[in-house]
Amino acid sequence: MVSASQVAAFAVLTFVMVVVPGPSVLFVVSKALAAGRRTALLTVVGNAAGVYLQVIAVALGLGTVVERSATVFTVVKLVGAGYLVYLGVQAIRHRRALAEAVHTTVTASAARPLRVVRDGLVVGFANPKAIVFLAAVLPQFVDHTTGSVPVQMLLLGILLPAIALVLDGAWALLAGTAREWFARSPRRLALIGGTGGFVMIGLGAGLAITGRKD
């Protein structure tokens, strides 16, 4: 149903799109610096799940609506921006608690994995870079003569979250390693926690003011 040439061509374009750091990568790096590798990797998983929800939306035709309607696009964009700002404010408020979390296994183990995955999912689903890419590019790699167009999109679309898992996971591990140096000092850790919060707020503000190209 989906040929090897289709998969290869779409994989190349997807890799190029994912490898260029965007809101998702910066969000993952902020999480890694603020809360460590485990939280960052869970964020990557949630982000990939959110992106695949976009794939499903495109396969069902909703992606075209988002891509063509300025109103719907703006709503999706502002929801993601608002959530990033909220997470940034929370990170700044709780920056001093990071030192305790690093040195307390109980606190670290109670990091609510589902909540971390949920945060990543919301940011991934509201990422306009991914939804525009999927809506504009994915349909071009579907063979309309063979039928089952939604199924083809769902199969090809797996490549985006799969590649994102690998590349964003690498960013999470690298940033998590850098965090170990900050973890040696409570002041450094509080500083990086606050900085991560400001980065998320900046991402949210940047996302909110980003316009469409139409």
| pLDDT tens, position by position, 57-111 | 888 876 566 556 667 667 766 776 787 687 778 767 766 655 554 444 334 444 5
d(CA 186, CA 22): 29
Using CA atoms, how far apart are residues 2 and 19, in angstroms rounded to an integer? 24
Output b/e per residue, 96-112; b: 16+ Cβ within 10 A.
eebbebbeeeeeeeeee
| pLDDT of 64 | 60
Question: In terms of pLDDT, which residue wins out, 116 or 181?
Answer: 116
Q: Is the dihedral of CA 116, 121, 123, 129 positive or negative?
A: positive
Q: What is the mean pLDDT of the chain?
A: 76
Closest CA to 119 of 70, 146, 85, 162: 85
CA–CA distances in Å: residue 189 to residues 39, 88, 94, 110: 15, 15, 11, 19
CA dihedral for 131, 212, 22, 43, sign (positive or negative): negative
The answer, as to whether pTM is greater than 0.85, is no
86 vs 120, more confident: 120
pLDDT in the model for residue 159: 94
Rg of the chain over Cα atoms, rounded to whole angstroms, equals 18
